[in-house]
Amino acid sequence: MSTADLLLNHVSELWTGREEEPLHDAAVTFAKGEVDYIGPSADAPGAGFEVDCHGLVGVPGLVDCHTHALFAGSRAADFERRLAGATYSEILEAGGGILSTVEAVRSASERTLRSLLISRLEPMLLGGVTTVEVKSGYGLSVAHEEKMLRAMTGLDADFEVVPTFLGAHAVPVEYRAHRDDYVRQVITEQLPVCAPLARCIDVYCDRGAFTLEEAETILRRGQERGLVARIHAEQVAATGAAAMAAAIGASSADHLEHIDSEGIAALARHGTVAVLLPGAMLYLDDDAPPVARLREAGVAMAVATDFNPGSSPLRDLWTAATLSTLIMGLSIREALRAVTICAGRALGRPDLGWLGHGSAADLALMAPPPGEPPELRVLVQYFGGHRARHVVKGGRLVVRDGLRVSRCPSFPG
Ligand SMILES: [Zn+2]
C-alpha cells in the first residue's frame, strides 16, 4: 500500500548530514512535508510519486548562512581601480565602496530589490541551496532598512530566506560627525520597525567599524525583541567581539581571521558556531582563520559565500566549500557539514542541513560533473558550477530534471 507522497529512489550515494559514511542505492520518502523513510531502496515503502535517482548524489539542502545578496548598483569600477593599485580609502574618495551600494539601494524600489533578489536566489536553488540567509545593511535608515527586509518577504514558497537585520553595518555619511546618534537610531528607531521582519540581528564589530560596547548593546536589544544574535567579528583585528557575542548567547561569530585563543575558548564554551568566509578571505587577500585551533577546541565550523558586490562577489556555495578546503584547511567532510548542518545551527535553525525525522525535509539530488562518479567528494573537488537534478523543499518536489516545478505546471508537485 502506498503511504508516502514522494519517493526518491535508487540514490547512488546519499549523505544525511549526520552519519560519517554515505548510504548507497538509498531511498528517501516524504509524507505530509516530513521525511518518512531513509534506507536501502530495496526496503522503501511505495509512494504516490516516484523519482529515479540513479547516478545522483543526495545531500541535505544546502544552507548559505551569511550573505549580503540583496543589493543594487555595481562595484565593477571599484574592482578595476583596485587592480590598478588604488587603496580602499582612494576608492571611497572616488565615490565607490560600501556607501555607493547604500546610495543605489536607497534609490531602488522595494519591487526592484525583490526582483534582483529572486534573480540571485533562483540559480542558488538550482544548485541545491535551499535556504539563504540575507542581511539588510545597505539602507542605513529606518525607511530603507525596512524596505530591504520587506523586499525579502513575499517570495515564492520555493525560496527560503532567513532575513537578518544589519542596521549596524556601517555609519552612513550623514552621521559621520555624530555616530552616537546613528547607534541610537539603530536601537530606538530601526529596531522596533525591523525586528518583526527579521529572524536574526547582526553587527559589523571591528576596528574601524562598530565598537565592542556598541555591538553588545545593539545585539542585546535585538535579543530582547526575539532576534537571534550574530556578529561580524575579528576580520580586521582581534577585538574580543567573538568572545562577547558568545557570552551573550549569539548563535554564530563570522569571519574570525584574527580571532585569539580567548575568543576560540569562548566559542567552544558557549557552543557558538564559527562561520568562515573563504570568498572574502581570498578577495581581500586576508590571512586564514585558525582552523586547526578551532577544530582542536571543538568549535562547530560553518562556511558561507558572504555574497556581496564589494568583498566577496561569490554566488556559489559549492565553490565556497571547495575554497574552505584549499585555503583554510577543512577536510571534505568538514566542508560538507559546514554548508549543511553547521550552517543551520549558525542561523539558530537546528532543523536545517540534515535529513531525518524532525528535519526541514530539504534534499538536493546533485548530478556529478560529466564523466565523474556519483560521489560526495567529487562535489567538493570541483570548483562549483554544480546543478541539482532534483530538489525537495519542505517535503515538496520544487526542482525536477533541473527545472523549477512551479514553472512547469504539467509536472506533478
Ligand atoms: Zn558579511
Percent of residues in the chain assigned helix, strand, coil, to nearest 5: 35, 25, 40
List residues, by chain if needed, whose CB lies under 5 Å from ion ligand 1: 306
Q: Which residues pair with 50 in a beta bridge?
A: 7
DSSP, collapsed to helix, strand or coil, labels residue 192 as: helix
Q: For residue range 56-100, list pLDDT tens digits in order.
A: 999 999 999 999 999 999 999 999 999 999 987 888 888 889 999
Cα(355) to centroid(ligand 1), Å = 28
pLDDT of residue 2: 56
Cα(67) to centroid(ligand 1), Å = 6
Amino acid letter, 180: D
**What pTM was estimated for this model as a whole?**
0.97
Q: Can you say how many angstroms the Cα of residue 316 is from the centroid of all Cα atoms in its chain?
A: 11
Cα(389) to centroid(ligand 1), Å = 30
Cα(307) to centroid(ligand 1), Å = 8
Residue 3 has pLDDT above 90, yes or no: no
Residue 46 has, within 13 A of its CA and on its CB side, a CA count of: 4
What integer is the mean pLDDT of 99-115?
97
Q: For residue range 360-408, list pLDDT tens digits in order.
A: 999 999 999 999 999 999 999 999 999 999 999 999 999 999 999 988 7
How far is the C-alpha of 166 from the C-alpha of 43, rounded, in Å?
48
Cα(231) to centroid(ligand 1), Å = 9
Cα(147) to centroid(ligand 1), Å = 19
Mean pLDDT, the chain, whole residue set: 96
Residue 239 neighbours by CB distance under 10 Å: 22
Residue by residue, DSSP assigns 291-355 as HHHHHHTT--EEE----BTTTB----HHHHHHHIIIII---HHHHHHHTTHHHHHHTT-TTSS--
Cell of 8: 526518491
Cα(386) to centroid(ligand 1), Å = 24
Cα(203) to centroid(ligand 1), Å = 9
Cα(410) to centroid(ligand 1), Å = 40
Cα(232) to centroid(ligand 1), Å = 6
Cα(188) to centroid(ligand 1), Å = 23
Residue by residue, DSSP assigns 104-139 as HHHHS-HHHHHHHHHHHHHHHHHTTEEEEEEE--SS
Cα(233) to centroid(ligand 1), Å = 10
What integer is the mean pLDDT of 226-241?
96
Cell of 329: 584547511
pLDDT band, residue 411 (cuts 50/70/90): low
- Share of residues in the chain with pLDDT > 90 (%): 93
Cα(85) to centroid(ligand 1), Å = 24
pLDDT of residue 1: 46
Q: Which helix (H) or strand (E) holds 63?
A: strand 62-64
Residue 410 has pLDDT above 70, yes or no: no
How far is the C-alpha of 396 from the C-alpha of 405, rounded, in Å?
10
Cα(363) to centroid(ligand 1), Å = 26
